Amino acid sequence: MLILAAILAIFVYGIIAAMFGTIIPALAKKFLLSDTQAGFIFTAQALGMTIASISVGPLIDNKGKKPALLLGLGLVAAALYGLANASGDEMTVIFAVVLGVGGGIIVTGANALVSDINPEKRTSVMNGLNLFFGLGGMVTPLLASNLLSGDPVKLAYFAAVLTTVTLGVHFATKMPAPTGERGFKAGEMGALLSQPVLYLLAAFLFLYVGAEVSVWNWLAKHLIAIGVSESSALNILGTGFALGILIGRVFVARVLMDIPAPAVTLGAAVLMAITTYAMLQTNDPTMAGVAVFCAGLAMAPVFPTTLAMVGDAFPRATATAMGIVITCGWIGLLVMSPIIGSVASSSGLRTALLILPGASVLMILINLVMRPMLKKKAA
């Protein structure tokens, strides 16, 4: 039941991660949204995630994962039911903030839960279970395109019902209570914040999350702008990017048993730089789909592997450290979304999305700097 609860939570998070990127073309037509206004919706969700992530770590460390996950799932369900009935872009922005708060709680709580299932194989376990994030991200655009005719209302109701079911499973699942040995203590915050490796891990995730979620949010709109049909664009997002993440996590869970996490994330950052640049250089749907799939493969290990490195580096106050690092990830999205929207309005979305390979190059540099620190922590 514990593994099932973790899988469902991560699956739900995958669905909501792809939600706005899937429905934004329809919302743009319905509410006459510009790229800048669409960017505000993505920013609102990122703001909610940022607020949640920075505040939920101490709650998890001291009160346990179950209360946090119940709260997060409840907020997500409420936000999705609200989105299904939103009558304008202002209401959509409000519900995007609530969805972000709930999603931020879920991703921190679920990964903290997964992190404790098998500490000896933390990196492989986290990648293995996080493949369900890719599955959720794949289901959302494929369902919208092939069964729901791109209807955002039907998609929001589907996600809301699934989240409600997941909430029931979590309510019925017995989860370990905090022991107090790894809990957060206010007096330890200074020691936690004095560790340079925390800031490097946070900066790494800042760039990664901004890049990954920008693909979820903007890829379909970019493909439509270069002449790909809306249905094909959503299928590329689902069978390309999301499937790449899913398959990549299946593969890398085994790889991480033999190759150190810092080496895997370095290789992933190099491949991200290549593939995100390549996917912006073609107008052919087939070639774009191949490049997007490869970008998903490249990105697959980064998020769960980075969080596993946080868990290894900070055996005490683990959820608090994860919350700080994840928060910086959402701040990355908070920063990138309005930049992309603004640049897209003046210079085109293709030009704006060049921020993705640029962020990947910076990730390479950060990884090289923090590798000696992570080896020292492991020793």
Instruction: Please report which confidence band the pLDDT of residue 270 belongs to, taking 50, 70 and 90 as the band edges.
Output: very high
Mean pLDDT of the chain: 85
| CA–CA distance, 220 with 239 (Å, rounded to integer) | 12
Residue predicted with more confidence, 226 or 256? 226
pLDDT tier at 235, thresholds 50, 70, 90: confident
Q: Which of 12-21, 114-123, 126-135 has the lowest mean pLDDT?
A: 114-123
The token pair at 144 is: 């919208």
- Convert 185-222 to b/e letters by CB count within 10 Å (16 or more is b): eeeeeeebeeeebbbbbbbbbbbbbbbbbbbbbbbbbb
Average pLDDT over residues 63-88: 89
Beta-strand (E) ranges in the chain? none
Query: Higher-confidence residue: 362 or 16?
Result: 362
Q: How far apart are CA 359 and CA 268, in angstroms?
A: 13
Q: Which CATH class is domain 2-174+193-378?
A: mainly alpha
Please report the pLDDT score of residue 376 as a whole number.
64
- Nearest CA to 174 out of 298, 64, 46 is that of 64
Predicted confidence band of residue 189 (pLDDT cuts 50, 70, 90): low
Amino acid 359: pLDDT: 96
Q: State the Cα–Cα distance between residues 85 and 77, nearest whole angstrom.
A: 13
Whole-angstrom distance, CA of residue 219 vs CA of residue 353: 9
Eight-class DSSP state of 315: S
Dist. CA 136–CA 158, nearest whole Å: 12
Is residue 230 very low, low, confident or very high in pLDDT (cuts 50, 70, 90)? confident
Q: What is the pLDDT of residue 202?
A: 94
Is the per-residue pLDDT at 161 higher than 70? yes
Domain boundaries, the chain: 2-174+193-378
d(CA 25, CA 335): 22
Express each pLDDT in 308-355 by its tens digit. 888 888 877 676 787 788 888 888 888 888 899 889 888 999 999 999
Indicate whether this model's pTM tops 0.85. no
**In this predicted structure, what is the pLDDT of residue 379?**
47
